[in-house]
Amino acid sequence: MGRRRAKTPRSAAHRKQAPVVIYSLPGCGHCQRARTLLASRSIVYDEIEGSPTPDFRTKLAELNGSGTAPALVIDGQGIGGASELARLDRLDVLMPLVRRERFPHALPQKRLSISGLLRSWFGLRSAPGREPTRHIVAMVDEKGSIVETHGAESKHAAAELAAQLNAGRA
């Protein structure tokens, strides 16, 4: 089991980020997908490349609950594999997690409104606040689960509210 540091240099900003470790296997497509995502977000990581031996598979199982590669660890906490990493990125939780921001984290989101969709589908005019979409601020935990929501009048209002909520917890 060899240890290899990523080629991304550690700048002052990177020294503040949580340590990220990827446990991988040679020739693993999912491992490459995880490395590519981390590199695209400029996340510095350490990589431990193992061989497909029972000992390394046991280590993977301890980290992510299964013996499959990759296993990712952020700030000492196992988050799972490449799919879980992509999910956290898609939910906009990955970067706050790496930056060690406090959770729950406020994220502005745009949601579909069923009543607004039905009104527009039937050609009915939407009253203010009944558009096909609505803006909210979702409070998400470190796993990307929504723990609370706040309504907002517009995209701009949602962004301002999210900034205020995040600043209040700093």
Residue range of the domain that includes 129: 105-168
Looking at the fold, whether 72 and 120 belong to one and the same domain comes out as no
Q: How far, rounded to the nearest angstrom, does the alpha carbon of residue 3 sit from its chain's CA centroid?
A: 25
> Which DSSP letter does residue 125 get?
P
Q: What residues are paired with 48 via a beta bridge?
A: 3, 23
Looking at the fold, whether 113 and 135 belong to one and the same domain comes out as yes
Q: What is the CA radius of gyration of the chain?
A: 20
How many residues in total does the chain contain? 170
Looking at the fold, whether 49 and 78 belong to one and the same domain comes out as yes
pLDDT at 97: 94
Looking at the fold, whether 22 and 59 belong to one and the same domain comes out as yes
Q: How many other C-beta atoms can be found within 10 angstroms of the C-beta atom of residue 155?
A: 13
Q: From 98, 114, 129, give the residue that closes a domain.
A: 98
Q: What residues are paired with 137 via a beta bridge?
A: 108, 150
pLDDT at 10: 54
Q: From 47, 68, 98, give the residue that closes a domain.
A: 98
Query: What SS3 class is residue 39?
Result: helix
Task: Please give the model's pTM, rounded to 2 decimal places.
Answer: 0.76
Cβ atoms of 27 and 80 within 8 Å: the answer is no
pLDDT at 127: 59
Looking at the fold, whether 39 and 88 belong to one and the same domain comes out as yes
Looking at the fold, whether 64 and 140 belong to one and the same domain comes out as no
Looking at the fold, whether 85 and 129 belong to one and the same domain comes out as no
Q: What proportions of the chain, in percent to the nearest 5, are helix, strand and coil?
A: 35, 25, 35
pLDDT for 5 beyond 90: no
Looking at the fold, whether 88 and 115 belong to one and the same domain comes out as no
What CA–CA distance (Å, rounded) separates 62 from 58? 6
What CA–CA distance (Å, rounded) separates 44 from 22? 11
The CATH number covering residue 19 comes to 3.40.30.10
Looking at the fold, whether 6 and 72 belong to one and the same domain comes out as yes
Looking at the fold, whether 88 and 124 belong to one and the same domain comes out as no
Looking at the fold, whether 151 and 112 belong to one and the same domain comes out as yes
Looking at the fold, whether 70 and 15 belong to one and the same domain comes out as yes
Please tell me the total count of domains within the chain.
2
What CA–CA distance (Å, rounded) separates 8 from 114? 45
- pLDDT digit string (tens) for 83-135? 999 999 999 899 999 999 888 999 999 887 777 677 777 776 655 555 667 88
pLDDT for 6 beyond 60: no
Q: From 48, 81, 98, give the residue that closes a domain.
A: 98
Q: What are phi and psi of 80, to 5 degrees?
A: 115, -150
